[in-house]
């Protein structure tokens, strides 16, 4: 190997080492610069997460909220909601986590996208400020439970299912038999109770009397501008407007830096599979409560 070649290799190696050292230094600064007085202002930013598509699991959203809450660089959290809602329990888990972080003193601003209805509104309700586009579809306050009945088709095919159950309601919602009046009454009670909880949360978070909420909480959707008239959102604006509002609330001057928590690879796969299954099959085969708009 010639001397010239060696020199070139040494220079390249030195350059690569310098780049690596620079990246490591930048990573160190990003992780700890909040404790360095001269870098505090530069480090201020808004935590940013997205709630998109059908809500079928709360695990990743809750994890991201906690990560942002404990990041000293984050002065507030901006959440982009673009969802038709989904299953009741994960919607409520996300709601509770947003409320807890907000009550801990961190401002949370929701920016509504094209759709923030039913469970999408449920998770938005506890925000410090809700910003909706004038044409955002929101509202759809209500609960639905649905499941197919295959009995008629099975009768035509000469297929039947034998059921052995402990008591009368153990197979309630089964697709293999018709619903009885007693079944319907019982399930209607379950839906009504979940609906009452939804109404109560909207009333509490938006400071609207329950009777007033029930007047428009009949499952209807509405535009962002209509929602503003009902008191369901705080102001109209774009995502950029929501960023400026969030920055102002958090005392950040100029264009705010958005700090995104890392997502685990398995969460991407889970969201894809669960979102696809929910979209294709919904509650097929078993009854479950959903805050969702079609």
Active site positions, annotated: 118, 170
Distance separating alpha carbons of residues 119 and 92, to the nearest angstrom: 8
DSSP 285: T
188: left (phi over 0), alpha (psi -120 to 50) or beta: alpha
- Report whether 172 contacts 164 (CB < 8 A): no
Distance separating alpha carbons of residues 195 and 218, to the nearest angstrom: 10
Of 111, 48, 53, which Cα lies nearest the Cα of 75? 48
Backbone angles phi, psi at 236, to 5 degrees: -100, 145
- Report whether 54 contacts 279 (CB < 8 A): yes
Tokens linked to 226: 């209509």
Residue whose entry in the numeric block shows the structure tokens 């929101």: 138
Of 78, 63, 145, which Cα lies nearest the Cα of 111? 78
Distance separating alpha carbons of residues 119 and 140, to the nearest angstrom: 9
Tokens linked to 89: 């329990």
Note the residue count of the chain.
Answer: 294
Judging by DSSP bridges, how do beta strands 137-139 and 108-117 pair with one another?
parallel
Tokens linked to 264: 């685990």
Distance separating alpha carbons of residues 228 and 232, to the nearest angstrom: 6
């Amino acid at each position: 190997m010639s001397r010239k070649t060696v020199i070139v290799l040494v220079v390249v190696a030195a350059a690569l080492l310098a780049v690596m050292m620079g990246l490591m230094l930048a990573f160190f600064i990003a992780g700890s610069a909040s404790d360095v007085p001269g870098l505090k202002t530069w480090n201020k930013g808004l935590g940013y997460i997205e709630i998109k598509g059908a809500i079928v699991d709360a695990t990743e959203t809750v994890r991201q909220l906690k990560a942002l809450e404990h990041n000293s660089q984050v002065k507030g959290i901006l959440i982009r909601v673009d969802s038709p809602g989904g299953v009741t329990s994960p919607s409520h888990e996300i709601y509770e986590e947003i409320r807890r972080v907000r009550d801990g003193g961190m401002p949370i601003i929701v920016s509504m996208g094209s759709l923030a209805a039913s469970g999408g509104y449920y998770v938005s309700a506890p925000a410090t400020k809700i910003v909706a586009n004038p044409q955002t579809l929101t509202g759809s306050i209500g609960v639905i439970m649905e499941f197919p009945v295959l009995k008629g088709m099975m009768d035509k095919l000469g297929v039947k299912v034998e059921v052995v159950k402990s008591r009368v309601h153990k197979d309630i919602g089964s697709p293999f038999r018709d619903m009885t009046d007693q079944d319907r009454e019982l399930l209607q009670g379950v839906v009504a109770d979940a609906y009452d909880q939804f109404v109560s949360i909207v009333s509490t978070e938006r400071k609207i009397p329950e009777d007033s909420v029930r007047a428009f909480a009949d499952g209807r959707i509405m535009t962002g501008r209509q929602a503003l008239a009902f008191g369901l959102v705080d102001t109209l604006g774009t995502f950029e407007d929501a960023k400026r509002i969030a920055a102002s609330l958090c005392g950040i001057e100029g264009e705010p830096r958005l700090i995104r928590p890392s997502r685990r690879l398995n969460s991407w796969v889970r969201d894809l599979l669960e979102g696809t299954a929910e979209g294709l099959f919904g509650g097929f085969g078993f009854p479950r409560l959903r805050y969702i708009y079609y």
